Amino acid sequence: MPSEQEWPPLSPIHTGLRGRCPRCGEGHLFSGFLKLRPSCEVCGLDYSYADPADGPAFFVICFACIPSVILALWIEAKFEPPYWVHLVTTLPFMLASCIPPLRPLKGWLVASQFFFKAEEARFGSAAPRKKPAIPPAG
């Protein structure tokens, strides 16, 4: 497909959470669980712009790991169980609440980078300055 083709803007939430291409919404974003494809197999969009860094892990830590640790501490304080109880209760809860959201969150962040045209900051040249408004005399 020609690269000059106009693509309608697609919601980063709809495309990212489903792991679809942020430009066409048809191609796949991932080649593995968290590994991004080099490009879209449908429209050819190059995914080299995408760098969600630690964003998905940050969101999972805030919204899944902290409640998991609170659950473990509550179980420990309330029941004082042996360690094997934590292995069969807290550990599966933590794994089930922390691993599955990583892929949709990474897809959402990559799609958001495309949608909002995010790119690396460039500090080489200063932005043009506006002259300050002169207040009216009087």
pLDDT digits (tens, 9 = 90+) for 108-131: 999 999 999 988 777 876 666 666
Residue of 132, 11, 99, 112 lying closest to 53 (CA atoms): 112
Structure confidence at residue 38 (pLDDT): 96
The region of weakest confidence among 16-20, 30-34, 60-64, 71-75 is: 60-64
**Residue 60 · residue 31 · CB < 8 Å:** no
Residue of 112, 114, 78, 75 lying closest to 93 (CA atoms): 75
Phi and psi angles of residue 121, each rounded to the nearest 5 degrees, phi first: -70, 145
The C-alpha atoms of residue 87 and residue 23 are separated, in whole angstroms, by 43
Find how far residue 106's CA is from the centre of its chain. 3
Structure confidence at residue 120 (pLDDT): 79
pLDDT, tens digit (0-9, with 9 covering 90-100), for 8-30: 999 999 999 999 999 999 999 99
Structure confidence at residue 122 (pLDDT): 78
pLDDT, tens digit (0-9, with 9 covering 90-100), for 84-114: 999 999 999 999 999 999 999 999 999 999 9
Find how far residue 96's CA is from the centre of its chain. 18
DSSP string over 62-100: IIIIHHHHHHHHHHHHHH---HHHHHHTHHHHHHHHHST
